[in-house]
Structure 1
Amino acid sequence: MKHTKHNIMLVLIFLVLISKFGYCYSNDAASCIEGERIALLQFKESLIDTSNRLSSWNGLDCYEWEGISCNSTTGHVLKLDLHNPATLTPNDIDYYYDGLPSNYSNNCLGGEINHSLINLTHLNYLDLSFNNFSKIRIPVFFGSFKNLRYLNLTSSGFVGNIPTHLGNLSSLECLHFGQASVDDLTANDLATNNLDWLTSLSSLKSLDMSAVFIRPSENVFGTINKLVSLSFLNLYSCQLNITNPPSLVNSTSLISLNLGENAWDAMTLLWLSNLTRLENLNLHDNLNFAYSFNSSLLIPFCEHLNLISIDLFSSRFQGPIPHCLGNLTSLTFLNLAINKFEGSIPKSISRLCRLQTLDLYINELSGLLTDFLGAPSECLSYSLEMLSLDGNHFTGQLPNQLYKYKNLNTLSLNSNSLSGPIADSLGNLSMLSWLDISYNKFSGSIPTSLGQLSNLHTLYIDHNSFQGILSELHFSELINLKRLGISENSLFLDVSSNWDPPFQLKEIVLDSIKVGPHFPQWLRTQTKVFSLFMSNASISDAIPDWFGNLFWTCSAIDLSKNDIRGELSMSVEGFMNEFKQGCLWIYLSDNHLTGEIPKWLCNLKHLQMLDISSNKLSGEIPSCFGKLQELGYLELGNNNLFGHIPNSLGSLSQLFSLHLQNNKFEGELPSSLQNLGSLITLDLSENGLMDVIPPWIGENLRSLRFLNFQKNKFFGDIPFQLCYLNALQLLNLANNNISGSIPQCFNNFTAMVNDSILDIHGVAFEENIQESIKGLELEYTRNLKFL
Structure 2
Amino acid sequence: MHFSSGQPVARSAQAAYRGSGTPCCPSSAASPATPWASFTLGTTKTAGVKCSNRTGHVLRLHLRNVHADYLDEFYGDNIGLVGEISNSLLSMDRLVHLDLSMNSLEGPSGHMPEFLGSLTRLRYLNLSGIPFCGRVPPQLGNLSNLQHLDLSCQFCTGRMYSRDISWVARIPNLQSLGMNWLNLSTIVDWPYVVNMIPSLKTLGLGGCSLQTANHSLPHINLTKLERLDLSDNIFAHPMARGWFWNLTSLQHLYLADTELYGQAPDALAHMTSLQVLDLSYNRNMGIMTTCFRNLCNLRSLDLSSCQSDGNIKDIIARMPQCPLNKLQELHLGSNNITGIMPDLIAHLTSLVVLDISVNNLNGGIPHGVGLLSSLRELDLSSNNLSGPVPSEIGMLRNLTILDLEDNNLSGHVPSEIGMLCNLIMMDLGGNNLNGDFTEEHFTSLMRLKELDLTGNSLRIAVGPDWIPPFSLEYTHLGSCQLGPLFPAWLQFQVDILLMDISSTGIVDRLPDWFNTTFAKVTYLDISKEIGGRLPRNMEFMSLQSLFINSNKLTGEIPNLPRNITFLDMSGNCLSGNLPSNIGTQYLSSLAVSSNQITGSIPESFCKAEFLEALELSSNLFEGQVPQCFGAKNISFLMLSNNRFSGNFPSFLKDWKQLTSLDLPRNSFFGRLPLWIEDLVELRFLRLNQNLFSGEIPATISNLSRLHHLNLAGNALSCAIPWHLSNLTAMTRKYVKDSTVDSDTYGNYSDMVHAYDFASVVLKGRELNYSIGIWDLVSIDLSFNQLTGVIPEEIAALDGLINLNLSWNQLTG
Q: Smaller-chain TM-score range? A: 0.7 to 0.9
Aligned pair in 2 of structure 1 residues 255, 214: CA closer, same or farther (>3 Å)?
same
Query: Where does residue 228 of structure 2 map in the other structure?
Result: 257
Secondary structure (helix, strand or coil) at the match of 2:298 reads coil
Query: What is the identity, as a one-letter code, of the residue corresponding to 1:258?
Result: D
Query: Where does residue 396 of structure 1 map in the other structure?
Result: 363
CA contact (8 A) 1:517 1:541 kept: yes
Query: What is the identity, as a one-letter code, of the residue corresponding to 2:759?
Result: S
Query: What is the identity, as a one-letter code, of the residue corresponding to 1:607?
Result: L
Secondary structure (helix, strand or coil) at the match of 1:470 reads strand
TM-score under structure 2 normalisation? 0.79
Query: Is residue 164 of structure 1 aligned with residue 138 of structure 2?
Result: yes
TM-score under structure 1 normalisation? 0.82
Query: Where does residue 362 of structure 1 map in the other structure?
Result: 334
Query: Is residue 197 of structure 1 aligned with residue 167 of structure 2?
Result: yes
Aligned pair in 2 of structure 1 residues 630, 132: CA closer, same or farther (>3 Å)?
farther
Query: Is residue 684 of structure 1 aligned with residue 674 of structure 2?
Result: no
Query: What is the identity, as a one-letter code, of the residue corresponding to 2:590?
Result: L
CA contact (8 A) 1:304 1:328 kept: yes
**Equivalent of residue 479 in structure 1, options 446, 449, 456:** 446
Query: Is residue 422 of structure 1 aligned with residue 389 of structure 2?
Result: yes
Query: Where does residue 600 of structure 1 map in the other structure?
Result: 581
Q: Distance in 2 between matches of 1:220 and 1:745?
A: 60
> Residues 85-133 of structure 1, C-alpha deviation per residue, up to 9 Å, x if partnerless?
446487xxxxxxxx8999x845844444454433332222222334455
Query: Where does residue 286 of structure 1 map in the other structure?
Result: 258
Query: Where does residue 123 of structure 1 map in the other structure?
Result: 95
Query: Where does residue 29 of structure 1 map in the other structure?
Result: none
Deviates more, 1:455-464 or 1:248-257: 248-257
Deviation (angstroms), 1:176? 1.5
Aligned pair in 2 of structure 1 residues 60, 151: CA closer, same or farther (>3 Å)?
closer
Query: What is the identity, as a one-letter code, of the residue corresponding to 1:203?
Result: N
Q: Distance in 2 between matches of 1:549 and 1:681?
A: 38
Q: Any unmatched runs of 5+ in structure 1?
A: 1-33, 45-55, 91-98
Secondary structure (helix, strand or coil) at the match of 2:652 reads helix
CA contact (8 A) 1:677 1:702 kept: yes
Query: Where does residue 238 of structure 1 map in the other structure?
Result: 208
Query: What is the identity, as a one-letter code, of the residue corresponding to 2:60?
Result: K
Query: Where does residue 617 of structure 1 map in the other structure?
Result: 597
Secondary structure (helix, strand or coil) at the match of 2:330 reads strand
Query: What is the identity, as a one-letter code, of the residue corresponding to 1:150?
Result: Y
Query: Where does residue 638 of structure 2 map in the other structure?
Result: 659
Q: Distance in 1 between matches of 2:735 and 2:510?
A: 40
Deviates more, 1:490-499 or 1:454-463: 490-499
CA contact (8 A) 1:199 1:227 kept: yes
Q: How does 1:126-165 map to 2 (within 5 A)?
A: 126-133=98-105, 136-165=110-139
Query: Where does residue 796 of structure 2 map in the other structure?
Result: none
Aligned pair in 2 of structure 1 residues 496, 394: CA closer, same or farther (>3 Å)?
same
CA contact (8 A) 2:494 2:518 kept: no
Query: Is residue 468 of structure 1 aligned with residue 472 of structure 2?
Result: no
Query: Is residue 777 of structure 1 aligned with residue 768 of structure 2?
Result: yes
Q: How does 1:666-681 map to 2 (within 5 A)?
A: 666-681=645-660
Q: Distance in 1 between matches of 2:404 and 2:306?
A: 21
CA contact (8 A) 2:183 2:209 kept: yes
> Residues 690-718 of structure 1, C-alpha deviation per residue, up to 9 Å, x if partnerless?
2322222212x212222222333332222
Query: What is the identity, as a one-letter code, of the residue corresponding to 1:703?
Result: E
Aligned pair in 2 of structure 1 residues 344, 274: CA closer, same or farther (>3 Å)?
same
Q: Pairwise CA RMSD of aligned residues?
A: 3.7
Query: Is residue 728 of structure 1 aligned with residue 725 of structure 2?
Result: no
Deviates more, 1:721-730 or 1:585-594: 585-594
Q: How does 1:10-25 map to 2 (within 5 A)?
A: none
Query: Where does residue 269 of structure 1 map in the other structure?
Result: 240
Query: What is the identity, as a one-letter code, of the residue corresponding to 2:664?
Result: S
Q: Distance in 1 between matches of 2:382 and 2:229?
A: 30
Deviates more, 1:437-446 or 1:256-265: 256-265
Aligned pair in 2 of structure 1 residues 122, 564: CA closer, same or farther (>3 Å)?
farther
Query: Where does residue 376 of structure 1 map in the other structure?
Result: 345
Aligned pair in 2 of structure 1 residues 626, 363: CA closer, same or farther (>3 Å)?
same
Q: Distance in 2 between matches of 1:549 and 1:627?
A: 28
Q: Distance in 1 between matches of 2:270 and 2:307?
A: 23
Aligned pair in 2 of structure 1 residues 329, 501: CA closer, same or farther (>3 Å)?
same
> Residues 28-87 of structure 1, C-alpha deviation per residue, up to 9 Å, x if partnerless?
xxxxxx99855335489xxxxxxxxxxx99956583312233333333322222334446
Query: Where does residue 635 of structure 1 map in the other structure?
Result: 615
CA contact (8 A) 1:280 1:307 kept: yes
Query: Where does residue 720 of structure 2 map in the other structure?
Result: 742
Q: How does 1:286-685 map to 2 (within 5 A)?
A: 286-287=258-259, 293-295=261-263, 297-322=264-289, 324-345=291-312, 346=314, 347-349=317-319, 351=321, 353-369=325-341, 371=342, 374-377=343-346, 379-381=347-349, 383-495=350-462, 500-520=467-487, 522-543=489-510, 547=514, 553-567=520-534, 569-573=536-540, 582-603=563-584, 605-649=585-629, 651-685=630-664
**Equivalent of residue 704 in structure 1, options 679, 682, 690:** 682
> Residues 483-540 of structure 1, C-alpha deviation per residue, up to 9 Å, x if partnerless?
2221111122344566554444333222222333444455554444443333323333
Q: Distance in 2 between matches of 1:574 and 1:58?
A: 52
Q: Distance in 1 between matches of 2:19 and 2:772?
A: 59
Q: Distance in 2 between matches of 1:411 and 1:266?
A: 33
Q: How does 1:164-243 map to 2 (within 5 A)?
A: 164-179=138-153, 189-216=159-186, 219-242=189-212
Q: Distance in 2 between matches of 1:133 and 1:502?
A: 48
Aligned pair in 2 of structure 1 residues 465, 86: CA closer, same or farther (>3 Å)?
same
Query: Is residue 65 of structure 1 aligned with residue 40 of structure 2?
Result: no
Query: Where does residue 51 of structure 1 map in the other structure?
Result: none
CA contact (8 A) 1:553 1:582 kept: no
Aligned pair in 2 of structure 1 residues 454, 79: CA closer, same or farther (>3 Å)?
farther
Query: What is the identity, as a one-letter code, of the residue corresponding to 1:266?
Result: H
Secondary structure (helix, strand or coil) at the match of 2:706 reads coil
Aligned pair in 2 of structure 1 residues 731, 224: CA closer, same or farther (>3 Å)?
farther
Aligned pair in 2 of structure 1 residues 634, 307: CA closer, same or farther (>3 Å)?
same
Q: Distance in 2 between matches of 1:785 and 1:123?
A: 74
Aligned residues, how many? 715
Greater fraction of residues in helix = 1
Deviation (angstroms), 1:482? 2.7
Secondary structure (helix, strand or coil) at the match of 2:723 reads helix
Secondary structure (helix, strand or coil) at the match of 2:246 reads coil
Q: Distance in 2 between matches of 1:220 and 1:677?
A: 49
Aligned pair in 2 of structure 1 residues 144, 451: CA closer, same or farther (>3 Å)?
farther
CA contact (8 A) 2:280 2:303 kept: yes
> Residues 600-651 of structure 1, C-alpha deviation per residue, up to 9 Å, x if partnerless?
3334x333333333444333222212322222233333333333222233x2
Deviation (angstroms), 1:412? 0.7
> Residues 733-758 of structure 1, C-alpha deviation per residue, up to 9 Å, x if partnerless?
23333223322222222223457487
**Equivalent of residue 696 in structure 2, options 706, 713, 718:** 718
Q: Distance in 2 between matches of 1:333 and 1:193?
A: 34
Aligned pair in 2 of structure 1 residues 549, 709: CA closer, same or farther (>3 Å)?
farther
CA contact (8 A) 1:766 1:782 kept: no
Q: Distance in 2 between matches of 1:481 and 1:540?
A: 28
CA contact (8 A) 1:631 1:655 kept: yes
